Structure 1
Amino acid sequence: MPEITPVPRPDQQARLAVAAALSTSVRGDSFGTLNDVASWLAACQGVAPAAPLQRTRVIVFAGAHGIATRTFEDVGLSAFAPESDAEQLTELAEGAGPAHTMARRTGASIHVVECAPSGAIDVEPAMSTEEFDAAFMLGQTTADAEIDAGADLLIPAELGVGGTTVAAVLMGNFTATEPVVIVGPGSGTTDAMWKTKVTVIRDAMFRIRNLDGIEVIKAASSPSFAALVGFMCQAAARRTPMLIDGPLTATAAVYAEKLAPGVKHWLYAASATTEPSHIKALELLKLQPLLELRMRAGQGLAALSAVPLIDAAVELAGDELAVLAAAESNESQTPATEYEA
């Protein structure tokens, strides 16, 4: 098992300083949820107010899920064919596709990390112990490299057909939720695809019914999922804020929190989907999504959509705190007026 560094808590004094200052101003108090964003980022940076973000990076962990090829009565479980993984990878490599479009709009950049494929988790383990260790450490070293290069906001993301099915299996196991309850619409499945998905989830959950923690990850996730978990554990240990969006990244956050308590404090949920696994993961993490976009595109697209609001929250809070500080300074410098009786 790779070494996991203990996760520190964000600076609560910085959080409270921003929150308290904004709450004393009628205008500042009117910023609503953006105040929470500004306070969270101040805590992560350890300064009040938070400094503007300089380098937002999307890290896409890409890997084929073995269950994407599974069928039931000759019907698959996704509207996307497994071959679309390679097509989307090529698109990302060429700087094309929705994620790059959104990244350009927000000033972010994207790095793709290719991971090994997984086994079909309804009939075989996702990976061996050696493969898990390698994937987890790949996530850790990727986090270190990005942070060392100056990243101050990280967006862990994923690419791989069948990701919502993996998330359903893992969260179904974690919360003891029945397959027919934890299954979601995925990438737009038909009734026949839904049946296939439920069958795969049921069989995979049965295989891991007596497992826990890392053993569940090895048996029923994928190397790309293990890399996501390692990435989040290390980024949190390095005191770097993260923005998450999809069901699989939220599920990875749940398992990262289990392995390294405190990871959740370094996370902000950008958006939510209608996937039951996603909803349950955010509830466990006690994260309230900033947006309700219901985007299922993956690749960090929903998180990228939230970046302009993160930037705005930082600037609004900084400006308001500067105004409040100036007003306080003027009051303290105003000489008292003496009156003769």
Structure 2
Amino acid sequence: MRFTTLDQFRSLLDDLPGVDEAAKNGATERNGQLTKPPGALGRLEELAIWYAGWRGDGRPMIERPQVVIFAGNHGVCEQGVSAFPAEVTVQMVANFEHGGAAINQLAGAFGASMDVVALDLDEPTADFTKGPAMTEDEVVAALHAGWDSVDPEADLLVTGEMGIGNTTSAAAMSHALFGGAAEDWVGRGTGVDDAGLANKARVVREGVAVNAPRDALAVLQCLGGREVAGMAGAIARARDLRIPVILDGYICSAAAAVLEETKAGTLDHCVAGHVSAEAAHGILLEKLGKAPLLSLGMRLGEGSGAALAIGVLKGALATHSGMATFAEAGVSDG
């Protein structure tokens, strides 16, 4: 499916498939027959039923999880919003490709394949305090890169990112989408001090004021980054393929918020893997109506929190699909 404009991408979101109600009902019925008291596995039961509905299988397992990491550079770094130089993005991409990053270890621990999509790292987006971060052609190209990165044979998707300056981008996008004060949405990111935090709030205010984006996709174009758009494209493609998604941290959730604010319900195939140490991430998840699976004080990005949550979802499905029913086990259900 090809799109060449943001309007075409918006129309695409109107036609994405929904949950398989028959499979969801079958999973619900099975859950009621398993050898445990009703509700004894708590949220694991809800997760298994949710996953079954999207995969169209009342007794599913996860066999081909995919992690995709998108990388991009941000022109807004010229405003001094990060404690690290933009060159770190390129260096970390090399680390991903050589298997040396945290996300490589977590993906491997849970049997996930991992792909890295570097998006024009030698050409940062424009400084969004002076105008739009990307042209329409640039943001559409990044959305396409995300769309095309998803393996149609995958049965679970995690998207992550690497991009120095992208917590400022996420904060500006969140401020534009949901209002409040700029200070509500900024955090220390890679470790900026108090002066750096105040500077980030200034940059967020200026970016939103200068661009005044008219809708959620314009927010992505004006205040986002290529890696942010890549994640949005991948999450949308996963919905097109009925592949469940585990959302990662603040930047990933900001990318996802663009989809939800464009078309309500677009994120029904997604769960939040964790809530990060960036305070605004919890606020953003509340806006999206997503309760996190984990809360471990992580703030690395890279898809790391979501990758760790693959284990939670695998556990939910192992119990749902592998447990015996009362009848199978010859156990009285009272």
Superposed pair shares fold, TM > 0.5:
yes
Query: Could you state the TM-score of these two structures normalised by the residue count of structure 1?
Result: 0.87
Matched residue, 2:43: 33
Are the equivalent residues in 1 in contact too, given 2:65–2:111 (CA < 8 A)? yes
Q: CA deviation at 1:14?
A: 2.9
Taking the aligned partners of 1:130 and 1:228, their CA distance within structure 2 comes to 17
Matched residue, 1:335: none
User: In terms of mean alpha carbon deviation, does 184-193 or 274-283 score higher?
Assistant: 274-283
Are the equivalent residues in 1 in contact too, given 2:110–2:310 (CA < 8 A)? yes
Are the equivalent residues in 2 in contact too, given 1:35–1:317 (CA < 8 A)? yes
User: In terms of mean alpha carbon deviation, does 209-218 or 170-179 score higher?
Assistant: 209-218
Matched residue, 2:268: 265
Change in CA separation of 1:188 and 1:309 when aligned onto 2, cut-off 3 Å = same
Letter in 2 for 1:236: R
Q: CA deviation at 1:210?
A: 5.1
Letter in 2 for 1:119: A
Taking the aligned partners of 1:135 and 1:96, their CA distance within structure 2 comes to 26
Taking the aligned partners of 2:253 and 2:200, their CA distance within structure 1 comes to 20
Taking the aligned partners of 2:154 and 2:213, their CA distance within structure 1 comes to 39
Taking the aligned partners of 2:251 and 2:287, their CA distance within structure 1 comes to 14
Change in CA separation of 1:325 and 1:186 when aligned onto 2, cut-off 3 Å = farther
Higher-Rg member (1/2): 1
Indicate which of 292, 295, 316 corresponds to 2:295. 292
Matched residue, 1:314: 317
Change in CA separation of 1:229 and 1:65 when aligned onto 2, cut-off 3 Å = same
Matched residue, 1:10: 19
Matched residue, 1:56: 65
Give per-residue Cα distances to partners, 1:270-309, cap 9 Å, x unaligned. Answer: 1011434422332232111111123111111111111122
Taking the aligned partners of 1:12 and 1:188, their CA distance within structure 2 comes to 45
Taking the aligned partners of 1:210 and 1:97, their CA distance within structure 2 comes to 35
Taking the aligned partners of 1:100 and 1:28, their CA distance within structure 2 comes to 37
The answer as to 2:168 corresponding to 1:159 is no
Indicate which of 139, 158, 181 corresponds to 2:146. 139
Are the equivalent residues in 1 in contact too, given 2:65–2:155 (CA < 8 A)? yes
Matched residue, 2:218: 215
Matched residue, 1:205: 208
Query: Could you state the TM-score of these two structures normalised by the residue count of structure 2?
Result: 0.89
Any idea what SS the aligned residue of 1:226 has?
A: helix
Are the equivalent residues in 1 in contact too, given 2:213–2:222 (CA < 8 A)? no
Taking the aligned partners of 1:254 and 1:325, their CA distance within structure 2 comes to 44
Q: How does 1:135-284 map to 2 (within 5 A)?
A: 135-143=142-150, 146-147=151-152, 150-209=153-212, 211-284=214-287
Any idea what SS the aligned residue of 2:31 has?
A: helix
Letter in 2 for 1:258: E
Any idea what SS the aligned residue of 1:310 has?
A: helix
Q: CA deviation at 1:29?
A: 2.3
Any idea what SS the aligned residue of 1:58 has?
A: strand
Taking the aligned partners of 2:54 and 2:135, their CA distance within structure 1 comes to 35
The answer as to 2:48 corresponding to 1:42 is no
Matched residue, 1:334: none
Matched residue, 1:86: 90
User: In terms of mean alpha carbon deviation, does 134-143 or 289-298 score higher?
Assistant: 134-143
Give per-residue Cα distances to partners, 1:49-91, cap 9 Å, x unaligned. Answer: 2x211111111110001112313xxxxx223222211110110
Any idea what SS the aligned residue of 1:113 has?
A: strand
Letter in 1 for 2:178: T
Letter in 2 for 1:102: L
User: In terms of mean alpha carbon deviation, does 260-269 or 36-45 score higher?
Assistant: 260-269
Matched residue, 1:74: none
Are the equivalent residues in 1 in contact too, given 2:73–2:125 (CA < 8 A)? yes
Change in CA separation of 1:112 and 1:195 when aligned onto 2, cut-off 3 Å = same
Q: CA deviation at 1:207?
A: 1.5
Q: CA deviation at 1:214?
A: 2.0
> RMSD over aligned Cα, in angstroms?
2.1
Any idea what SS the aligned residue of 1:264 has?
A: coil
Are the equivalent residues in 2 in contact too, given 1:8–1:262 (CA < 8 A)? no
Calculate percent identity across the aligned residue pairs.
28
Q: CA deviation at 1:26?
A: 3.8
Letter in 1 for 2:265: G
User: In terms of mean alpha carbon deviation, does 5-14 or 84-93 score higher?
Assistant: 5-14
Letter in 2 for 1:280: I
Give per-residue Cα distances to partners, 1:13-55, cap 9 Å, x unaligned. Answer: 4334434543565446211111121111111111212x21111
Taking the aligned partners of 1:86 and 1:39, their CA distance within structure 2 comes to 40
Any idea what SS the aligned residue of 1:158 has?
A: strand
Taking the aligned partners of 1:99 and 1:194, their CA distance within structure 2 comes to 27
Are the equivalent residues in 2 in contact too, given 1:156–1:228 (CA < 8 A)? yes
Unaligned residue ranges in structure 1 (runs of 5+):
72-76, 332-341
Give per-residue Cα distances to partners, 1:212-262, cap 9 Å, x unaligned. Answer: 222222111112222221221121011111111111111111111233443
Q: CA deviation at 1:198?
A: 1.1
Change in CA separation of 1:325 and 1:205 when aligned onto 2, cut-off 3 Å = farther
Matched residue, 1:111: 115
Taking the aligned partners of 1:279 and 1:7, their CA distance within structure 2 comes to 27
Show structure 1 runs of 4+ deviating over 4 A: none
